[in-house]
Homo-oligomer: A and B are copies of this chain.
Amino acid sequence: MAAKNAFYAQSGGVTAVINASAAGVIETARQHRDRIGRIYAGRNGIIGALTEDLIDTGKDPIAAIRALRHTPSGAFGSCRYKLKSLDQNRREYERLIEVFRTHNIGYFFYNGGGDSADTCLKVSKLAGTLGYPVQAIHVPKTVDNDLPITDCCPGFGSVAKYIAVSALEASFDVASMSKTSTKVFVLEVMGRHAGWIAAAGGLASSKDREIPIVILFPEVAFDREKFLAKVDGYVKQFGYCSVVVSEGVKGADGKFLSDQGIRDAFGHAQLGGVAPVVAGIIRDGLGLKYHWGVADYLQRAARHIASKTDVEQAYAMGKAAVEFAVKGHNSVMPTIVRVSSKPYRWKVGMAQLSKVANVEKMMPKGFISKDGFGITEKCREYLAPLIKGEDYPPYRDGLPQYVRLKNVAVPRKLEDFTI
C-alpha cells in the first residue's frame, strides 16, 4: 500500500499539553514512513484545511518537534470554528475532502474536545461516501475533562495541578495575613458547565494539612446564606478561609452569578468575573476583608507547573492515534483507561467516535460533599493521580524555553475558498 500523507489539527481552547499530543502524533508518524508520507498541520486548526493553508511539519527540525512536548498553547494555531451539520453546510465537508485528495492526505488527526470529535466522525463518514476514504482519528484534549469513555482528558490534569498548587499557596498567604488583614481569598477558575477544575482546588487540603477551602460548583445552585455560614464557620475556626469558585456557578434562578448586570458610572455594562461578585457577598454579608484573583488563561497555559501524568498521557494519546491509524482503524479515539488508583496505573484504550461525539461527561454526584462545598474521598481518589509528578520545561535566563515553530506553508494547488 502506497504511503499517504497525514493531516493534524488543533481545535478549540488550547492547553498546557496539547502540543505534547502533537509531538506524539508527529514523532510516531515519522516512524512509519512506509505508511505515512508527509505530516501536515492545519494553520489555525480546521480553518487551515478549509483554506488549504497547510504547514509542512517536516520543515522543522527534530529538536523543535521534540520541544513541543514542553511547550504550552497550540503551536500550529487553533480555532473556535464548528463545522455545521452535513445538511447545513455540505460544501465545507466536500472542500475538506477536496483538499485531502489534492494533497494525498489519507489520515486525519483531530485534536480537540467534544465538538471536534463530532466533526472528525462526520469527515470520516463523508469521505467514504465521496469515494475518497480518509482514516479519521480523534485525539482527546480538553481542560473541561468532559469527554466520555476516557477516564480523563489530556489538559485537565495540568489545570488541576495549577489550581491545587495555587489554592495551596494563596491559602498559606491569607493564613499569614489573617490576624489583622485579609481573611478570605477568592479564586475564580474555569469550568462553565462542570466543576472538575473547581474540584481540584480541594486537593490543596488533606488529612495531614487541613486547609479551610469552600468550593462553589456549577452543579450546585448558589445559596447565599448557606455559603456565608460556611465561610463564617471556617473563619471562626481557622482564622481564615479560601474560596475556589467556578466561573459557571449559578443562582437558584439558573442565572450565572457573574451576570449581575454590573454597570459603570455612565451606565455601561461591565465585564464581570464571578470572583468579585463572591467577594462582594462576603464583604456585605460578613464584613470580612478579602482578596480575589481570576486565573483565566494562566491556569490552562501554565506548562511550568504541568502534571507529569498529564504530559505523558497527552503524548501517549498522540502516539496511539497514529498507531491506530497504521493498523487500519477509522472513526476512533484513543482513551485513557484507569487500571487502578492506588497505585495509579493506566493504559491506552480505544473508543468508537460514534460513542464519543455529542456526549458530555458530567462530574458524578458522589464527588461533591453533602453540604455542596467540598469534594468527597471518592473524588480525591479520582483526582489525586492526575496531578502527580512534575515535568519542568528547560529554562534559559529565568524563563522557560518554549519553542516556536517555523510553520512553513505547503504550496497551494486549489482555488481560494471563503469560509
Contacts and interface: CB of A to CB of B under 8 A. Distances in A.
Nearest to A186: B296
Q: Is the interface of A mostly helix, strand, loop or mixed?
A: mixed
Interface in A317-346: none
Contacts of A176: 10, 14, 73-75, 77-78
A387 interface: yes
Contact of A72 (B173, B304, B395): B173
Nearest to A385: B398
Interface in A132-190: 161, 164-166, 168-170, 172-181, 185, 187
A350 interface: no
Interface stretch (A33-41, A114-122, A256-264, A351-359): A256-264
A44 B179 contact: yes
B305 A292 contact: no
Interface string A1-27: 000000000100110100000000000
A83 to B, nearest CB: 13
B276 A265 contact: no
Contact of A271 (B72, B172, B292, B295): B292
A157 to B, nearest CB: 9
A85 interface: no
A69 to B, nearest CB: 14
A80 interface: yes
A127 B212 CA distance: 41
A238 interface: no
A390 B384 contact: no
Nearest to A290: B271
A363 interface: no
The 8 closest A-B pairs by CB, nearest first: A293-B296, A387-B398, A74-B176, A73-B172, A261-B265, A44-B179, A169-B301, A173-B301
11 contacts: A13-B177, A14-B176, A165-B304, A166-B298, A169-B297, A185-B297, A203-B399, A262-B263, A268-B280, A271-B280, A273-B294
